[in-house]
Structures are given as structure tokens and as C-alpha cells.
């Protein structure tokens, strides 16, 4: 363990992501990752109102989703603007077929936008909200995995 000034220090970021999503978006959210993006999607029952959804990727990484009425409401505007986007988390996914997955996401109706500080295509699902204080959707990007 690395120490700072003789005291224990936080030394790394864990590979754990847990999101909160409104229950009414459960089927659409599950379908996006299972059917559109081809991820392994499993439900885990922990005695909550809805099972926790575990979305896994080929390299062993994963994230979990809790469907709860306590999640922020979905956005109602048709266009995501910086004032909304900057209040939520931004998550990057990687793929070996960037163009193919962007096409699948576009066909699925996932909103895409650009940020002036990046060459990535950013995507936003209004029903996918993750940070209770943010009251907005999670923004995410998909980039090419360089092997």
C-alpha cells in the first residue's frame, strides 16, 4: 500500500460502476446492451423490487444497474446540451468495430452529440440516469480499442 505523509492513501480506481435507472426504462436499457451491443446481460436477485442487471464485456469487466424509482427522472428535451451533460457521469466503452457499433446505436435511436474538446462521438440515453444529484442522463462514448 502506498502511503502519503505516513498515512494510508487511496492508490487506484476500482473497476466498479453501478448505475441507477428508472424502472420504466428497464426493458429498453436491457435490450440496448443485450440486443444492440451484444453484451452478456444477467439479472441478479438481491431481494430488491427489481433484480440488479449485470452487463459484462468480453475482457471480464462489467457494470451493474439498479432499477429504482429513486433514480433521476429522464430528460424531456430532444437535444442534450452542455448544461445537462456536464452534471452527469461520462463513461467510455471500447470496441474493435467502432463504425459498426456506432451504426447499430444510431439505428436504435440513441442520441449522438459532439463535444468541442474531443474527437469522440458521445451518446446519451434520456432514460439512463445515474447520479442522483445530477438529474440528467449519463453521457457515454464508444471508442476503438487499439490492440
State residue 114's pLDDT score.
74
State residue 21's pLDDT score.
85
Cα–Cα distance measured from residue 37 to residue 16, given in angstroms and rounded to the nearest whole number: 20
The domain tally of the chain equals 1
Give the DSSP letter string of 89-129.
-EEEEEES-HHHHHHHHHHTT-EEEE-TT-SSEEEEEEEEE
Give the number of other CB atoms < 10 A from CB of residue 124: 21
Q: Which domain holds residue 88?
A: 3-144
Local structure of 35: helix, strand or coil? helix
Residue 54 contacts residue 45 (beta carbons within 8 Å): no
Local structure of 36: helix, strand or coil? helix
pLDDT in tens, the chain (147 residues): 455 567 877 777 677 788 888 898 899 889 988 998 899 999 999 999 999 999 998 888 899 999 988 877 665 555 555 555 555 566 777 888 888 888 888 888 877 777 777 777 777 665 544 332 233 345 566 666 665
- Say whether pTM exceeds 0.85: no
What CATH number has the domain bearing residue 137?
3.10.180.10
Amino acid at each position: 500500500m502506498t502511503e502519503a505523509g505516513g498515512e494510508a492513501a487511496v492508490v487506484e480506481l476500482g473497476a466498479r460502476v453501478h448505475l441507477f435507472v428508472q424502472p420504466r426504462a428497464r426493458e429498453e436499457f436491457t435490450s440496448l446492451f443485450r440486443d444492440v451491443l451484444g453484451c452478456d446481460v444477467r439479472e441478479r436477485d438481491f431481494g430488491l423490487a427489481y433484480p440488479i442487471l449485470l452487463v459484462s464485456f468480453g475482457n471480464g469487466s462489467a457494470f451493474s444497474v439498479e432499477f429504482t424509482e429513486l433514480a433521476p427522472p429522464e430528460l424531456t428535451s430532444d437535444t442534450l446540451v452542455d448544461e445537462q451533460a456536464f452534471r452527469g457521469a461520462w463513461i467510455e466503452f471500447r470496441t474493435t468495430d467502432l463504425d459498426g457499433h456506432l451504426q447499430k446505436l444510431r439505428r436504435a435511436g440513441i442520441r449522438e452529440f459532439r463535444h468541442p474538446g474531443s474527437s469522440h462521438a458521445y451518446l446519451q440515453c434520456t432514460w439512463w440516469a445515474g447520479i442522483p444529484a445530477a438529474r440528467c442522463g449519463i453521457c457515454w462514448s464508444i471508442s476503438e480499442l487499439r490492440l
